[in-house]
Amino acid sequence: MKKMFPRLGRWLGLVLLLVFSFAYRPDYFEISKQLDIYASVFKEVSLYYVDDTDPGELTQEAINSMLAGLDPYTNYIPEEAVEDFKIRRTGNYGGIGASVGNLNGDPVITSIYEGFGAEKGGLKVGDIIRAVDGKSVAEYSEEELSEILKGAPGTGCEVKVERAGKQIDLKVLREEVHLNAVPYAGLVKDGYGYIYLNAFTQNASGEVLKAWQELKAKGPLKGLILDLRNNPGGLLNEAIALTNLFIPKDKPVVLTKGKLEEWQRTYKTPKQAFDKNIPVAVLINSSSASASEIVAGTIQDYDRGIIVGRRSFGKGLVQESRMLPYGAQLKVTIAKYYTPSGRLIQAIDYAERDEDGSVAKIPDSLRSEFRTQNGRLVLDGGGIDPDVQTPSEKASDLILALFQQFHIFDYATDYYRQNPSITSATEFKVDEAIFQDFKSWLQERDFNFDTRTGRLLERLEESAQTDGYSDALELEIAALRQAYESQKMTEIEKQKEVIMELLQEEIVARYYFDSGRLANALGHDKDIATALEYLEDSTKYQKILKP
């Protein structure tokens, strides 16, 4: 009998544990029921459907359809895509160190990372890839070609490229490629540093710290510009570590709230700040998201620096990677995050959908008010609003066409092939002679672009034909068309300053890579100029932080 009581106690404890566990968990019977239904449907279709089916495709479609009703950040990652997912998280991969794009149906080298196999092996931006290891790549997609060029460090590949009409065979060695989270840091002016962070990958905060230390080594810093524009985010722990460079120890950075208790957590700064006094300006725009918004929001909530630019994206959701069978993964949203003032900056409520399944942004009228440490008013529900708003420069139809048709890209490539060297990245300027040469070059390529006015004119012509007015309005429409085409050609002169800046950056990138492009842009970047204006004027700077 005595031996039975311990055994009975263990069973009773297990039953109580299960009872209490199920009280706080989803309806497992319903989950099991739906899984059983899905498995049965899948089996019946696979066995009896009139045509052949691909089990893998059916499963992936079913999973993607299921996740489509949730937020866009909850994604299924099949085994073959896991490596690319890891690259985005870590910034590391095995490959030649180059990016490939599609130019008029041809696979073209669009960028080369400094110091890796592609550069060492002689590949150039603008090279058209014709074959890899003797096999034509004409029918390969960009993704397929990218996979071929990746591989174990130390392995080589033979790449046949076409350059300026000539076929060239090159041997390229694959290496462990690290994509720097900080591709450029420098001084925008004596005493004022600039650091550009493009992603929150592993050790992103360490790269920022190193760049900051190197700037300090050049002389005392009076102010720092941290550029988070177009930064989509990344690892939460790196956002906390980066914030900690500015914010003292034991200060809340972000609060997460999820379904499970383990996701109800407040993250605090774990160390002493690297510098808690230097004036700081953080640059953001509509493509600054997630971890970028955590950093910007925390610095704003503690009045540690000013935020300059445009309203950020508004992603207040936290994802976690869950391992699945056979090497696949699920990136699932597990929680929402809140800044130290209590703001949820998520701009879209994916739980609330219209009848057509669409979702809308939270209107400004429904955004709640919060206060920073100094009592400044800040709002939730729509990203981070900058303290200093700068104009949003929308690309014109002309500029979009120059980019989409690769004219800026191709001219820079031609210029590079004809000019062995240029001045330093910061000193090089596109002058009037280069601009006029570019205009002549465009005419030879029969450049044309569409505009809103042009599209309306086409609709007018179509409507006149449909209504039977074509003959009566023929002269008037022809005169409109002639006036429009004449006016359209003046657009290049109107956009001269922007075109010259874009050409300048693209040409510099051929000689000095992306770091050179960024260095050159410092001289004409309006957001940086605005940030510098406030950092140099302590009265204006403090007026924002202590109104």
Residue 109 lies in a domain: yes
- Looking at 205, 288, 290, 515, which residue is catalytic? 290
Query: Does the pLDDT at position 27 exceed 90?
Result: no
Residue 231 lies in a domain: yes
Same domain (yes/no): 104, 159: yes
Across the range 383-400, mean pLDDT stands at 91
Pairing between β-strand 306-309 and β-strand 252-258 as defined by DSSP bridges: unpaired
Same domain, 370 and 409: no
- Tell me, yes or no, whether 357 and 500 share the same domain: no
**Which one of the listed residues 205, 227, 312, 315 is annotated catalytic?**
315
Query: Is residue 197 domain-shared with residue 331, that is, in the same domain?
Result: yes
* pLDDT greater at residue 244 or residue 362: 244
User: Is residue 84 a part of any domain in this protein?
Assistant: no
Query: Do 238 and 362 belong together in one domain?
Result: yes
Rounded to whole angstroms, what are the CA distances from 453 to 397, 449, 456, 483, 515? 10, 11, 5, 11, 38
Q: 301, 514, 525, 527: which is the annotated catalytic residue?
A: 301
Mean pLDDT, residues 321-332: 90
Per-residue tokens: 437: 């040469």
Task: Average the pLDDT over each of 208-217, 231-240, 395-404, 536-545 and give the range with the smallest value.
Answer: 395-404
- 166 included as an active-site residue: no
Domain span at residue 289? 184-392
Q: Is residue 114 part of a domain?
A: yes
Q: Cα angle vertex 224, ends 186, 347, to 5°? A: 110
Residue 40 falls within a domain, yes or no? no
Residue 325: inside a domain, yes or no? Answer: yes
Kindly state whether residue 337 falls inside one of the protein's structural domains: yes
> 189 and 174 in one domain?
no
Q: Tell me what the mean pLDDT of segment 275-286 comes to.
A: 97
219 and 204, same domain (yes or no): yes
190 lies in the same domain as 172:
no
Q: Is residue 361 very low, low, confident or very high in pLDDT (cuts 50, 70, 90)?
A: confident
Is 543 domain-assigned? no
CATH number (domain holding residue 166): 2.30.42.10
The residue whose two tokens read 């929680």 is 335
The pLDDT of residue 8: 37
| Helices (H), ranges, 189-336 | 204-217, 236-244, 291-301
Please indicate whether residue 315 is annotated as part of the active site. yes
Residues 174 and 124 in one domain: yes
Looking at residue 374, which CATH number applies to its domain? 3.90.226.10
**pLDDT band of 25, cuts 50, 70, 90:** low
Residue 355 has a pLDDT of 67
Q: Of 322-331, 416-425, 444-453, where does the model show the most confidence?
A: 416-425
User: Is 527 annotated as catalytic?
Assistant: no
Residue 147 has pLDDT above 60, yes or no: yes
d(CA 280, CA 310): 17
**Which of the two residues, 411 and 488, has the higher pLDDT score?**
411
Same domain, 223 and 339: yes
Task: Give the end of a domain, one of 154, 178, 202.
Answer: 178
Provide the mean pLDDT of the chain: 90
**Is 140 in contact with 159 (CB distance < 8 Å)?**
no
% the chain with pLDDT above 90: 65
Q: How far is CA 330 from CA 73, 81, 99, 247, in A?
A: 10, 11, 26, 33
Q: What per-residue confidence (pLDDT) applies to 525?
A: 95
Banded pLDDT at 356 (limits 50, 70, 90):
low
In DSSP terms, 284 is beta-bridged to 309
> Would you state the structure tokens that stand for residue 178, as one six-digit string?
């690290």
pLDDT at 513 over 90: yes
Confidence band for 15, pLDDT divided at 50, 70 and 90:
very low
Give the end of a domain, one of 131, 147, 178. 178
66-125: pLDDT as tens digits: 998 899 999 998 887 887 887 777 878 899 999 999 988 899 999 999 999 999 999 999
Sign of CA dihedral 503, 506, 510, 513: positive
Q: Which of 376, 392, 408 is the last residue of a domain?
A: 392
In single-letter form, the type of residue at position 77 comes to: I
Q: 298 and 228, same structural domain?
A: yes
Same domain, 336 and 245: yes
Strand partners, 132: 135, 159
Q: Note the pLDDT tens digit of each residue in 256-280.
A: 999 888 889 999 999 999 999 999 9
Which of 301, 290, 302, 304 minimizes the C-alpha distance to 226?
Answer: 304
Q: How far is CA 433 from CA 409, 429, 437, 440, 503, in A?
A: 18, 11, 6, 11, 13
Count structural domains, the chain. Answer: 3
